[in-house]
Amino acid sequence: MKKQIFVFICLLCFAVTSAYANGEYEQKIRKIEQYGKERREFALDYNLEREMENFLIDNENVSVRDFRKMRLAGFTSDVIRRQLNKKYGAIEKNYETKIADERERRLYKIALKVWRKWNYREFYACKNEDENAVKQSIEKTRETRRRIAELLQKNDDRYSDDMIKIHEQTLDECRFSPVALPLLDIYRSRGMREKYNNLILKLISDDQVNYDYLYDGIDSTDNSFVLAYVEFLADVNGKQKKIILSKEQVRMVAESLLTKEQAVFNMHSATFYSPEKDIYYNSIVYDGVRALISMSALLREYKLDDLDDKFINKFFKDDLVINTLRYDQSYEDFWKYLIQRPGFEKNRTAQ
């Protein structure tokens, strides 16, 4: 019994150490990514380069469903691939002859494998990582793109019935296809509110368990997804519109925003704020606040008071949100409601 306990403790310590090590590695990779975003030069030191190589080798067969590790492995593979391209003048077609060192040649092969999985992650997710099925799905999608190009040459109408049909067929082929976001725009433009709701609710639901729509890069918010979310609540289902979302649908959206998708309404993220210019995009902030108000209104309509309490305490204590509410008369009714709530009384006299 004592031996079993000792083994368990050793395994637990190993797991904690590995998690800590991965956390440290993630911080280093984020720094490299940030340098790239800022267009700053960044030279890898010997130790970090070896750490990246070992991480990539250890995660050669990482699953697309392990989102955190897949993002790190995808970014790592791209950096290593570029490094070796520069060092040997290699590309995918000639790396086997260009790269003389056996270890680096194997490393390049692994980098290509991981990069392909990251680059086509939606297909790997759809086809449960079956290589043959993935290849076939990619080819079908390329054919679809060719059909779209031909259609636009004949009739430059991106919102036509034919375009809707093609996009919907693409989603049938791969439910995680990026075409979902353009299709949302078509549904909105055509006033297809129910179809719009059904699709974005599917994206939100899938984002919890299957495919990570939220992230772009290592750990940054996908701007298109955030804007679609804002539009979904601020306009398509704004508080001035007739409610067509069910109680359970409203509950699901609120719970998603309070857990995994908290970053959607982070008013200081790149969707709402430009760190380079140090300015907020006022119109997008305004829409974001409208979306928050609509969500709260939906929760109160269905008497989901506990969720509304959590939602308000999570998103409405931000100073930017408070100031936007305070100085815009169109929010007057909600402002009066908000300042009567516990924790918001201090804003009653503040102007």
With 50 as the cut, is the pLDDT of residue 286 above it?
Answer: yes
Mean pLDDT of 252-258: 95
pLDDT tens, 181-203? 889 999 999 999 999 999 999 98
Percent of the chain exceeding pLDDT 70 equals 87
CA distance 232 to 234: 6
pLDDT at 217: 67
CA distance 158 to 344: 46
pLDDT at 215: 63
Of the candidates 208, 138, 237, the one whose C-alpha atom is nearest the C-alpha of residue 178 is: 138
User: Is 258 within 8 Å of 315 (Cβ atoms)?
Assistant: no
Give residue limits of the domains in the chain. 2-119, 133-174, 186-347
The pair phi, psi for residue 279, each rounded to 5°, is -135, 150
Amino acid at 32: I
With 90 as the cut, is the pLDDT of residue 229 above it?
Answer: yes
Which alpha helices (DSSP H) does the chain contain, by range?
2-37, 46-58, 67-88, 95-98, 102-119, 121-126, 131-154, 161-173, 180-189, 193-209, 223-231, 247-258, 282-301, 305-315, 319-326, 332-338
Of the candidates 163, 169, 130, the one whose C-alpha atom is nearest the C-alpha of residue 148 is: 163
Mean pLDDT of 229-249: 95
With 70 as the cut, is the pLDDT of residue 126 above it?
Answer: yes
CA distance 49 to 61: 20
pLDDT band for position 7 (cuts 50, 70, 90): very low
Q: What is the DSSP string of 31-68?
A: HHHHHHHTT---PPPHHHHHHHHHHHHHTTT--TTSHH
pLDDT tens, 155-174? 778 888 988 998 998 888 88
pLDDT at 208: 65
Mean pLDDT of the chain: 85
Tokens 């719009």 — which residue? Answer: 196
With 80 as the cut, is the pLDDT of residue 34 above it?
Answer: no
Q: Which residue has the higher pLDDT, 24 or 306?
A: 306
Q: Which residue has the higher pLDDT, 217 or 32?
A: 32
pLDDT band for position 18 (cuts 50, 70, 90): very low
pLDDT at 141: 86
Name the least confident of 6-20, 146-160, 198-212, 299-313.
6-20
pLDDT band for position 329 (cuts 50, 70, 90): confident
pLDDT band for position 81 (cuts 50, 70, 90): very high
- End-to-end Cα spacing for the chain: 67
Q: How big is the CA angle at 242 (ends 186 and 183), to the nearest 5 degrees?
A: 10
User: Is 302 within 8 Å of 244 (Cβ atoms)?
Assistant: no
Of the candidates 294, 296, 302, the one whose C-alpha atom is nearest the C-alpha of residue 237 is: 294
Name the least confident of 12-16, 47-51, 255-259.
12-16
Tell me 101's DSSP state.
-
CA distance 41 to 38: 9
pLDDT at 131: 94
With 50 as the cut, is the pLDDT of residue 127 above it?
Answer: yes
Mean pLDDT of 61-84: 90
